[in-house]
């Protein structure tokens, strides 16, 4: 029987204190990986997740930095090396939250913050973590993109443009590091059900669900499952992929 076994692997999940990130971290840990739990401002939830994983017998640590700053990412990398060892799996999940507006109303600073947290985060993480992956000839570099990168709907301009920039970087990276047995892929969630929805009773969003071929919203666990698959040896020959996990709401063409 096939199963996802990440025993002996070290994973970094950026934005791991967030609603999607914490489920990714739990899932990777449940598959056997040691997990570096990254946060920027949400220290309380990061430490709570660390305590949860530790109580379940999973090895983890908490790290913090601004992923849009290269020097900060390099310091984080050194801290992970010291606490867990060199990372085999990097999941770039962190993103700056902001208020979505029409293009003519959106502040210029929002475009810059999205570019830094989506596109430049990947650049910084690659420069920090890929050299060690290449030396060991094994690595999984996974970015969390979005269905919005394909939709390009009204009010999405800062987010969608940054995620499309991220997509270009990840595709080039996949071609450059494939020779070192490193895969580079993207998971693109739709409007996902999270812990917050379950608590607030907002799981159902009928207008959105009517557009989705599977007629429902995906769950945070379904996003994490895709990440765990791409992190595993089961996905050893998949690279350069943009994989929507959105029930068919967007469908990449050929």
The tens digit of pLDDT for each residue in 223-239 reads 999 999 999 999 999 99
- Which of 39, 159, 170, 242 is the catalytic position? 159
Place of tokens 């990947």: 122
Q: What is the pLDDT of residues 79-114, one digit of tens each?
A: 999 999 999 999 999 999 999 999 999 999 999 999
pLDDT tens for each residue of 2-20 = 789 999 999 999 999 999 9
Which DSSP letter does residue 119 get? I
Residue 9 CA, distance from chain mean position: 17
Q: Is 159 a catalytic residue?
A: yes
CATH number for the segment(s) 10-245: 3.40.50.720
Q: Residue ranges per domain, the chain?
A: 10-245
Contact call for residues 53 and 79 (beta carbons, < 8 A): no
CA 15 to chain CA mean position, Å: 8
Q: Is the pTM of this model over 0.85?
A: yes
Q: What is the DSSP letter of 31?
A: T
The helix-helix angle for 157-177 and 121-136 (nearest 10°) equals 20
């Amino acid at each position: 029987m096939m199963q996802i076994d990440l025993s002996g692997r070290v994973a970094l999940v950026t934005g791991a204190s967030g609603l999607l990130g914490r489920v990714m971290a739990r899932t990777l840990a449940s598959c056997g990986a040691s997990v570096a739990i990254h946060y920027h401002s949400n220290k309380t939830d990061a430490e709570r997740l660390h305590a949860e994983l530790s109580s379940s017998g999973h090895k983890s640590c908490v790290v913090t930095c601004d992923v849009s700053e290269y020097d900060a990412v390099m310091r984080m990398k050194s801290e992970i090396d010291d606490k867990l060892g060199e990372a085999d799996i990097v999941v770039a999940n962190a993103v700056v939250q902001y208020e979505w507006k029409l293009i003519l109303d959106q502040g210029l600073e929002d475009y810059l913050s999205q570019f830094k947290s989506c596109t430049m985060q990947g650049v910084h993480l690659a420069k920090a973590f890929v050299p060690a992956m290449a030396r060991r000839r094994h690595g999984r570099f996974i970015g969390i993109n979005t269905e919005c990168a394909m939709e390009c709907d009204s009010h999405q301009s800062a987010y969608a443009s940054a995620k499309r920039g991220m997509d270009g970087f990840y595709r080039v990276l996949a071609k450059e590091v494939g020779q070192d047995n490193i895969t580079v892929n993207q998971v693109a969630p739709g409007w996902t059900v999270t812990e917050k929805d379950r608590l607030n009773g907002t799981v159902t969003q009928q207008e959105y669900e009517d557009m989705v071929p599977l007629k429902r919203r995906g769950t945070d666990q379904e996003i994490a499952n895709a990440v765990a698959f791409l992190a595993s040896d089961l996905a050893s020959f998949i690279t350069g992929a943009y994989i929507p996990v959105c029930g068919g709401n967007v469908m990449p063409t050929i």
